[in-house]
Amino acid sequence: MERRKFIRNIGLGAAATLISKKAVSNELNNLKRIKMENLQKPEFPSLPYPYDGLEPYMDAQTVEIHYDRHHRGYYNNFIKAIEGTPYENMPIEKIFTEVSKAGNAIRNNGGGFYNHVLWWYSLGKGSSKPSAGLSEAINKAFGSFDKFREALGTAAKTQFGSGWGWLYMTPDKNLAVGSTSNQDNPLMDISPIKGIPLLPFDVWEHAYYLKYQNKRADFIDNLWNIINWDEINKRYQQALA
Ligand code: MN
């Protein structure tokens, strides 16, 4: 465990003031470098905003419990599950390509860890917009942004039970939407949809129940207010390459 680095939490209110300015600056630089390829290292990443940073669309208590308990739990259990196995030093995206052989502990907790990293970094409040390239691909695949929004919303709203809605890039470099059960994702060999995840919608009840109770559709409709398109644009560019 000691050779694994743990990224310290920042931006979490009072805790951040205990870190020196230089350390904060280094941490911010680390945050900027978090990209898909960095997820190969099994690190538990910082939350890129304070717990209340997504209010009023996502309440602080939900973010805290979801990040600090659910997400951290998946991470800890994933690390336990790979320890002493051939998967210990394998990039997580590679593990997903043969996850059917790796067993349910690695499938569920590896997926839970990875999907939530994508999730937190997909969100934020700001004025970001889909890039020209991504907009063009969305129009090509769905006809318009509104139709894309409806298609992803429907995929997420109609996922039966716990799971995720996804915008993803197919192997032939087109955009598509779909959903997966539990903590599966489109990188997994067992997934009914295959490709590179671009925008995840977490539709587990733990993502919304405190604020929205049974109203999953309202939660999903509100997510459009807090998409960090700068991040999705980057993922789109990386997936194209
Ligand atoms: Mn979740």
14 has pLDDT over 50:
no
Domain limits at 89? 14-122
How much is the pLDDT for 38?
52
Q: What is the whole-number distance in angstroms between the Cα of residue 42 and the centre of ligand 1?
A: 18
> Does 139 share its domain with 115?
no
Q: Examine residue 178 and state whether it is found in any structural domain, yes or no.
A: yes
Q: What is the whole-number distance in angstroms between the Cα of residue 204 and the centre of ligand 1?
A: 6
- Band (pLDDT 50/70/90 cuts) for residue 213 is very high
Q: What is the whole-number distance in angstroms between the Cα of residue 219 and the centre of ligand 1?
A: 13
Q: At what angle do helices 229-240 and 132-142 cross, to 10 degrees?
A: 80
> Does 109 share its domain with 163?
no
Cβ neighbours of 133 (radius 10 Å) = 12
> Does 108 share its domain with 90?
yes
Q: What is the whole-number distance in angstroms between the Cα of residue 223 and the centre of ligand 1?
A: 14
Domain of 105, CATH number, reads 1.10.287.990
Q: Examine residue 9 and state whether it is found in any structural domain, yes or no.
A: no
Look at the alpha carbons of 79, 37, 186, 220 in this order and tell me if their dihedral is positive or negative: positive
Q: Share the mean pLDDT of the chain.
A: 87
Q: Which residue's structure tokens are 């209340």?
A: 52
Q: What is the whole-number distance in angstroms between the Cα of residue 133 and the centre of ligand 1?
A: 29
Q: What is the whole-number distance in angstroms between the Cα of residue 66 and the centre of ligand 1?
A: 6
- Band (pLDDT 50/70/90 cuts) for residue 196 is very high
Domain of 163, CATH number, reads 3.55.40.20
Q: What is the whole-number distance in angstroms between the Cα of residue 238 and the centre of ligand 1?
A: 24
How much is the pLDDT for 43?
84
Q: Find, among 72, 79, 69, the residue nearest to 4 by Cα.
A: 79
How much is the pLDDT for 37?
53
The SS3 call for residue 48 is coil
Q: Examine residue 196 and state whether it is found in any structural domain, yes or no.
A: yes
Q: How far apart are CA 199 and CA 165, in angstroms?
A: 8
Quote the number of domains for the chain: 2
39 has pLDDT over 70:
no
Output the pTM of the full model: 0.84
How much is the pLDDT for 100?
98
- Band (pLDDT 50/70/90 cuts) for residue 66 is very high
Q: What is the whole-number distance in angstroms between the Cα of residue 92 and the centre of ligand 1?
A: 18
- Band (pLDDT 50/70/90 cuts) for residue 82 is very high
Q: Examine residue 182 and state whether it is found in any structural domain, yes or no.
A: yes
Residue 56: asked if its preceding bond is cis (omega within 30°), the reply is: yes
CB-based contacts of 139, cutoff 8 Å, min separation 6: 145
How much is the pLDDT for 32?
44
> Does 139 share its domain with 90?
no
Q: Examine residue 193 and state whether it is found in any structural domain, yes or no.
A: yes
Q: What is the whole-number distance in angstroms between the Cα of residue 228 and the centre of ligand 1?
A: 17
Q: Which residue's structure tokens are 């997400």?
A: 71
> How far is Cα of residue 5 from the mean position of the Cα atoms in its chain?
20
